[in-house]
Every structure is written in C-alpha cells, then in structure tokens.
Amino acid sequence: MASDSVILVTPRTILRPMKLSDILSVSRAANSAAVAQYMRNRFPSPYTEADAEKWIKGLLAKERPCGFAIADPKTDEVIGGIGIELGKDVDFRSAEFGYWLGEDYWGKGIMSEVGKAFAEWVLKNIRVTSEYEAGKEFTLTRLFASVLDGNDGSRRVLEKSGFVLEGIMKRGAYKHGKVMDQWIYAITQED
Ligand SMILES: CC(C)(COP(=O)(O)OP(=O)(O)OC[C@H]1O[C@@H](n2cnc3c(N)ncnc32)[C@H](O)[C@@H]1OP(=O)(O)O)[C@@H](O)C(=O)NCCC(=O)NCCS
C-alpha cells in the first residue's frame, strides 16, 4: 500500500509523511507511559487523539516537514515516528535526530533498521539554507541525539545506526522530578 510519497522502504516498514488520517493510529501507538518515559516533556502522556491531531497539523503546516511516520507497509498504519529538528544560526548544518516506536513493536530490531536507513537518507537528501548566506544550499554536516540516562535501548539503536558517543552532559535534564544525565551521540559527514 506504499504511495508515491514514501521516502524510504526498510525490510519491515515504510517511512512517509504524516497525514490527517493517521490521527487514530498515532495516538494508539504513542499512548503509553513506557514510550513517553525517555522522550522530551513535550511528548504528551497520556497521548490523546487531540494531541496527535495537533502534532500532525503542526507538521503539515511546515514548508518542508522533517517529521515522518514509520508505517506498516501492508496496512499503512503508523507504528512510530522519526524526524529531525534543524538547527539555527551557526548550527544550521546540524540537526537533532529523534524517534519513537509503539510499545508492541519494541525488541524486534525495527528501530535499528529504520534509524540507520533514515540517518543515511537525511545526510544524503536534506538540503538546508542559511539566512546569512543567501542563495546557497548545503547538506547537513552533523546529526546528533541526546539520550536520557537509562534509555539503553535508544543508545544501542544509535550505535547500530553509526552514531558515536561524544560525551555526557552531566545533570543536564530534568524529567519526572528527577535530574538526569544526557548521553550525546552524533554522526558527521564531510562537505
Ligand atoms: C528506544 C526504542 C526506539 C528502541 O526501538 P526497538 O525497535 O525496540 O530497538 P531494537 O529492537 O532495534 O533494539 C536495538 C538494540 O537495543 C537493545 N535494546 C532494546 N531495548 C533495550 C532495553 N530496554 N535495554 C537494553 N537494551 C535494549 C536491543 O537488544 C538491540 O541491541 P542488539 O541488537 O545489540 O541486541 C524504543 O524502545 C522506543 O521507541 N522507546 C520509546 C521512545 C524513545 O525512547 N525514543 C528515543 C528517545 S532518545
């Protein structure tokens, strides 16, 4: 059921833009305290249909959405999300990498295959511009991810996707009443 808008096909998933008809499947997959545990606080928990609608509408309103659905190729149902957030100013060739998968799909190697494929796709295909260098387009030079202490599965996904541990931001994050370290992983490419 893959459509023309599919950006990537992995052995068990397709990656494609989110659409409004995904509201139900996004809220179903995302509505889990276990999924939200190591995400940013802006990832809601509980995750309602209204939250999914807001998120998807926000993506669709962007000129070039950088967030995508991870979907089941047979049913087109969303099983997770993946995307990048572009940096600004001198960080404009740098982007933060983020992802989540519905709990039913954990532990099957799915994010390892998706993470690696998507990182390669982003570094090859995404072009960025700087407001300080008019008329020029650039590739990204750096993708990075910040993993909260305890999220060992995510650290492993990043390692298997070619990211390298650069350091630990000690006591950099606060979530659920707890101060936590953040593990910084990155993958870089030449011009
Ligand atoms: C983190 C997450 C994406 C992992 O996805 P996944 O598809 O289950 O991961 P995989 O099955 O590809 O496993 C990747 C590796 O991590 C290991 N792993 C997975 N979960 C683990 C856990 N809880 N603890 C330790 N290792 C774990 C696997 O054994 C595998 O390593 P291996 O190949 O060396 O055996 C998924 O658990 C998730 O969506 N979590 C909630 C959202 C989140 O935390 N996102 C990342 C924010 S930085």
Domain total in the chain: 1
Residue 153 CA, ligand 1 centroid: distance in Å: 3
2, part of any domain: no
Residue 83 resides in a domain: yes
In a domain, residue 36? The reply is yes
Mean pLDDT of the chain: 96
pLDDT attached to residue 191: 80
Q: What is the pLDDT of residue 2?
A: 54
Read off the pLDDT of each residue in 67-88 and give the average, rounded to a whole number: 97
Domain span at residue 103? 8-135
Residue nearest to atom 3 of ligand 1 (CA): 100
Does residue 164 surpass a pLDDT of 70?
yes
Identity at 179, one-letter amino acid code: V
Whether 175 and 41 have beta carbons less than 8 Å apart is answered as yes
In this structure, what CATH number is given to the domain that contains residue 51?
A: 3.40.630.30
HEC string of 160-185?
Answer: HCCCEEEEEEEEEEEECCEEEEEEEE
Q: How far is the CA of 102 from the centre of ligand 1 (A)?
A: 11
Q: What is the pLDDT of residues 31-65, one digit of tens each?
A: 999 999 999 999 999 999 999 999 999 999 998 88
pLDDT for the residue 139: 97
Is pLDDT of 68 > 70? yes
Q: Do residues 26 and 76 touch, judged by C-beta distance below 8 A?
A: no
- Ligand 1 proximal residues by C-beta, below 6 Å: 35, 38-39, 99-101, 106-112, 145, 147, 151-154, 156-157
pLDDT at 4: 66
165 in any annotated domain: no
Q: Model pTM? A: 0.96
Q: Ligand 1 center to residue 129 CA distance, Å?
A: 33
